[in-house]
Amino acid sequence: MPRTTHPELHRTERIGWLRAAVLGANDGIVSTASLMVGVAAAGASRGELLVTGMAGLVAGAMSMAAGEYVSVRSQADAERADIRRERAELAAQPAAEKQELASIYVARGLTPDLAKRVAEQLMAHDALAAHARDELGISPAGTARPVQAALTSAASFAAGSAFPVLLAVVVPSRLVLPVLTVASVALLAVLGGLAAWVGRAPVLPAMIRVAVLGALAMAVTAGVGRLFGAVL
C-alpha cells in the first residue's frame, strides 16, 4: 500500500522549555522592574537604581536556576526510581506485568484479545519502554531535564531583567518611573500574548492577565517605596 505523509504540528514537546522560558522572562521583568520602581519611588539616584537593577538581575537569575534545578531534579529522581522498580518487577514476574499492560489497553477501549496481543508485541520489542510509557506515563519527550530547565530559567530571567535595567540607562532620570512602569507592563503583555499564540491558546486574555498582574506588582512596590522614602 502506498504510504502517505500527513505532517502535523504539535506543541506538546515545546511545553517544558517554553514554560521555563516564559516564566523566567516574566519573572525577570516583574521582579526587577518592580524592585527598581520601588527604589525610584523612594527617590533613589540613577546610580542607586542601576545597582539595584543589576543586583536583582544576578540574584534572581541564580535563584531561578537553583529553584528550577531542584524542582526538576526531584522529578527526574522520582522517574528513575519508578523505572528501576518497573525493571525489577519485569524481571521477577513478567506474566503479571504483561497482564497489567493488557488491562491498561482494555481500559483505553481495546478488546481483551487485542489488548493481550498488543501487550505481547510491545513487550517483545521493549518491555521496559512500554511500561514506562503506558503504565508510568514517562516518555522521552516529557523526561525531566534539570540542567536544561535551570539554564533556560536563568537565561530567560536575565533577559527579562535586562530590559528594565537598560531603560534606566537610556531614559532621562525624571522620566524613569513612568517609562519603566509603562514599558515593562507593555512587554509583559507582549510576552503573555506570544506564549499563548505559540501554545494556540486565546491571546488577548493572556495578555490582559499578565499585564494586570505585573502592573499590580509594580504599583504595590511603588507604594512601599514611596512610603519608606518619605519616612526615611
CA 31 to chain centre: 16
**84-94 confidence digits (pLDDT tens):** 888 898 888 88
Question: What is the structure's pLDDT at 6?
Answer: 46
For the cut 90, the answer to whether the pLDDT of residue 57 exceeds it is yes
| Residue 5 φ/ψ region, left for φ over 0, alpha for ψ in the -120 to 50 degree band, beta for the rest | beta
The pLDDT value recorded for residue 86 is 84
13-23 pLDDT, tens digit each: 555 566 667 77
Banded model confidence at residue 52, pLDDT cuts 50, 70, 90? very high
For residue 147, what is its C-alpha cell?
540542567
Q: What angle do CA 121, 122, 124 make, to 5 degrees?
A: 65
What is the Cα–Cα distance from 160 to 14, expressed in whole angstroms?
Answer: 20
227 band by pLDDT with thresholds 50, 70 and 90: confident
Mean pLDDT for the chain overall: 83
**Chain centroid offset of residue 48 CA:** 31
Q: Could you give the C-alpha distances from 49 to 2, 90, 136, 224, in angstroms and in order?
A: 66, 61, 50, 16
Q: What was the pLDDT predicted at 159?
A: 92
The more confidently predicted of residues 228 and 30 is: 30
Mean pLDDT of 171-175: 86
pLDDT of residue 141: 57
Mean pLDDT of 115-135: 85
CA dist., res. 86 & res. 228, Å (int): 58
Average pLDDT over residues 72-99: 86
Q: Please name which of 149, 112, 115, 148 lies closest in space to residue 20, comparing C-alpha atoms.
A: 149
Is pLDDT above 70 for 78? yes
Q: pLDDT, tens digit, for every residue of 143-158?
A: 667 888 888 888 999 9
